[in-house]
Amino acid sequence: MASNGSARSGSGGRAAAQGGGRTSTASRKRNAEPNGHGSAETDVAATAQSPTSLRGRPESREQLIDFYRQMVLIRRFEEKTGEMYTRAKIGGYCHLNLGEEATVVGVMSALEPRDYVFTNYREHGYILGRGVDPNRVMAELFGKETGVSRGRGGSMHLFDAEARFMGGYAIVGGQLPLATGAALTIAHKGLDEVVVCQMGDATTNIGAWHESLNIAQLWNLPVIFLIVNNQFGMGTSVEKGSAEPDLYKKACAYRMRAERVDGNDLLAVRDATLRAVEAGRKDKAPTVLEAVSFRHRGHSVVDPDRYRPREFVEKGRSHDPIPAYGRSLLDAGLLDENGLKQIDDQVNRIVEASVAFADESPEPEPKDLYVFDFASEVPNIDRSLPGDHTGLADIGGAAALGGR
């Protein structure tokens, strides 16, 4: 679906996709909310619809079941991560994807291995969805040498070039210019990869957001700006932080295609992402994709979450995407209760094994304190993509850079 010169919704998104020029239900009710949190409450109600039916889907039975397995893996992994943090196994900051599993799996399942992913610091689920070994991810959280970033990155800086998972950025919006640059390189090379750039809702208020969207649309770059709108930027509601709380509409300023989708509906997210991928791959058209979601806990593991009204939290948790999707599998006759339990048992074993692996892995050596701190061997080559080179050796050393 190519850009037609204005922000617009896709036709297949189930719950919250809306036309760019219309006044949304959330907007109309914004000022009527007694708790001052405006359409955040309304948006939770918008995600209350039943998941997209599994009947007649193009995916195989195995794929549909695997989507459930992936969501459960992310849920159990994140629950265990929270536990390990309280036991001081994990240091620094830590942000969980609890409650956002349908968005994570819906997006990641629509990508191909050749596509690139940039994220913010709430990223554990995305790298698991990319197929990276949970052992290596947990080891990174533990700061161990066997981690995906050799223990130097921790929770907010997961990275795997082979999986084209480019992190993991702690500075809000820091990933946007880099993701846009990767899309620029793809366009220059005439390739058909796409780039997904994930972010939180508050990121759409910073300068890098506007600069990146402007360049992406102006130069026809294949990048999907994925807003995971869990309705609070740290402790501030979207309505109190953004003059336009219907965030996908911000694409209209750049005449970019845009879509809002129910982030609790895995298949709706997947379908919307597939449309965005097609637009990027075939037409080099960027997309803003807003997934209205909900996080089950505070902003980070140390956030007591006292700023969200109790009713809001209870309503959000009642729309948990995992049991809802599980019921869909049962209704479609793809699994029975025992099948769901077997998946849960299998995932629990995987997560427990990841903790054991991380516990038993070596710490980085003190003598290597400065190793990997500086990218001194990364060649500064025009039109080079992340992961293209492992160092100077594979391009002929310093001679390839003209003796520099």
- Burial grade of 177 (CB within 10 A; 0-12, 13-18, 19 or more): middle
Which one-letter amino acid corresponds to residue 226? L
Q: Which pLDDT does position 14 carry in this prediction?
A: 42
Indicate whether 129 pLDDT > 60. yes
Indicate whether 245 pLDDT > 70. yes
Winning range, highest mean pLDDT, from 13-27, 38-52, 71-85, 157-171: 71-85
Average pLDDT along the chain: 85
Q: What proportion of the chain, given as a percentage, has pLDDT over 70?
A: 80
CB atoms within 10 A of CB 156: 19
For residue 290, list its beta bridge partners.
227, 260
How much helix, strand and coil, in percent to the nearest 5, is found in the chain?
A: 45, 10, 45
User: 128-148 burial, b for 16+ CB within 10 Å, e for fewer?
Assistant: bbbebbbbbbbbbbbbbebbb
| C-beta separation of 394 from 195 below 8 A | no
Q: Give the pLDDT mean for 266-288.
A: 97
Element (H, E) at 237: strand 236-237
- Quickly list DSSP for 196-216: EEEEEGGGGGSHHHHHHHHHH
Locus of tokens 């794929």:
63
- Burial grade of 93 (CB within 10 A; 0-12, 13-18, 19 or more): middle
Q: Give the pLDDT mean for 225-237.
A: 95
Q: Which pLDDT does position 52 carry in this prediction?
A: 73
